[in-house]
Amino acid sequence: MRIAEARVIVTCPGRNFVTLKIVTDDGVTGVGDATLNGRELAVTAYLREHVGPALIGRDPARIEDTWQYLYRGAYWRRGPVTMTAIAAVDTALWDLKGKVAGLPVYQLLGGRSRDGVTVYGHANAATVDEVPAAVAVLVADGYRAVRVQCGIPGLAKTYGVSTTGDRYEPADAAVPSEESWSTERYLAHVPAVFARVRAEFGPGLRLLHDVHHRLTPIEAARLGRSLEPYALTWMEDPVPAELQDGFRLIRAHTTTPIAVGEVFNSIWDCEQLLREQLIDYLRCSVGHAGGITHLRRIFDLAALYHVRSGSHGATDLSPVCLAAALHLDLSIPNFGLQEHMPHTAETDRVFPHAYRFSAGLMHPGDEPGLGVDIDEELAARYPYRPASLPVNRLEDGTLHSW
């Protein structure tokens, strides 16, 4: 069996997704997610122009060798575009291997280590008074873990907090829209949000919060300490993670657990944070961190340092990525939590899938491979629309991290 075609499909059923479909000379197919939010066509070109031609004629069974070929063989290593493209190839080859074997991918990874994958949902509200109702919706849906984000008094818009009431992840204008930020207003406000949620929902509900890389280490230390009474499961991306020594400072001041990794793309982004035990959850995704092969290697390293997985699963990661994540989550020993935001009905129709949600848990299903596909005819009806994440400025106009 040989790879005969590597097809890249770009579609926008509500938001943009890039999918790689590998087809063998016997007509077996495998899919991988190649979506990089706001930079979709860079990965598309990388796959179409550089990776695809090199795949033709290769043995699809040689997943590890193909990974090494695309990583070491390219000379230019790492980076989000490269690693997303490698991830798509790797994921598609695991899907294909599962179909050839007649087994779901989690069986190829060693079988299940748990009954289901605990997922967390997003509760977003404009004001503290509206937060309990937003959390209650998720609790009623069965979620046992909830990420809580709230508008900040004095700021017109807060990233991740919908102004329309929808569950959403923004990527709107072709040229990024601009939002404003105030660390002072934010730090003064967040503890009251969690005080309210804990008071209303008691100690049993797992609570999470995403800081979106907006603080300095000492500010993050203060936030973590101020949230200690509310026993969060994690404080996510408290600071930009290029300066990894900075996490020592946060660690020295707070017992609020720390999660990072959604923008990481290789094991080398994780190594210092793991080795120095500076984090508690690692949030790399199958789609952006080199596929199932590489992410499993990352999570194995994490396990040595008591770090659990908490993979990114926002709606800009396609159903193909979510399916792959669920197979990995089900199999690894050090699974922590999986992020889950339901895709729109349009997206779900373009990507028919076997995975399901029930009582706070997800299961990838038992179809051979990943149990997900792309309906290419339907996908063709949704042409690509340029869309970007917003940028973030301080109130005096200074561009800020987000």
Enumerate the active-site residues: 159, 212
Q: How far is the CB of 346 from ligand EZ4 (least distance, A)?
A: 18
Window 209-238: contact mask with Co ion (x via CB under 5 A): -x----------------------------
Q: Report the partner that residue 37 touches, choosing among ligand EZ4, Co ion, none (CB closer than 5 to 8 A by kind).
A: ligand EZ4
Q: Report the partner that residue 314 touches, choosing among Co ion, ligand EZ4, none (CB closer than 5 to 8 A by kind).
A: ligand EZ4
The pair of structure tokens assigned to 106 is 């989690």
Cα angle: 272, vertex 273, 277; to 5 degrees: 110
Q: Interacting stretch for Co ion, rule CB under 5 A, among 151-159, 201-209, 262-270, 289-297?
A: 262-270
Q: Which of 33, 40, 219, 262 binds ligand EZ4 (CB under 6 A)?
A: 262
Residue 136 interacting with ligand EZ4 (CB under 6 A): no
Q: Which of 130, 169, 179, 276 binds ligand EZ4 (CB under 6 A)?
A: 169
Q: How far is the CB of 262 from Co ion (least distance, A)?
A: 5
**DSSP-based three-state secondary structure for 119:** strand
Window 77-116: contact mask with ligand EZ4 (x via CB under 6 A): ----------------------------------------
Q: Report the partner that residue 160 touches, choosing among Co ion, ligand EZ4, none (CB closer than 5 to 8 A by kind).
A: ligand EZ4
Region label for 231, one of left (φ > 0), alpha (ψ between -120 and 50) or beta (otherwise): left
| Segment (H or E) for 249 | helix 246-253
Residue 160 interacting with ligand EZ4 (CB under 6 A): yes
Hunting for tokens 């070109």 — which residue is that? 45
Nearest Cα residue to 310 out of 318, 319, 298? 298
Q: Report the partner that residue 367 touches, choosing among Co ion, ligand EZ4, none (CB closer than 5 to 8 A by kind).
A: none
> Which residue type occupies 103?
L
Window 294-333: contact mask with ligand EZ4 (x via CB under 6 A): ------------------x-x-x-----------------
Residue 210 interacting with ligand EZ4 (CB under 6 A): yes
Q: Residue 283: how many CB atoms within 10 A of its CB?
A: 25
Q: Which long-range contacts (CB under 8 A, 24 or more apart) does 44-51 make?
A: 44/8, 44/10, 44/18, 46/81, 46/82, 46/85, 47/6, 47/8, 47/18, 47/20, 47/85, 47/88, 47/89, 48/8, 50/74, 50/85, 51/6, 51/85, 51/86, 51/89
Q: Quick check: 335 and 309 in contact, CB under 8 A? A: yes
Residue 329 interacting with Co ion (CB under 5 A): no
Binding residues (CB under 6 A) for ligand EZ4: these are 37, 160, 169, 210, 212, 262, 312, 314, 316, 339
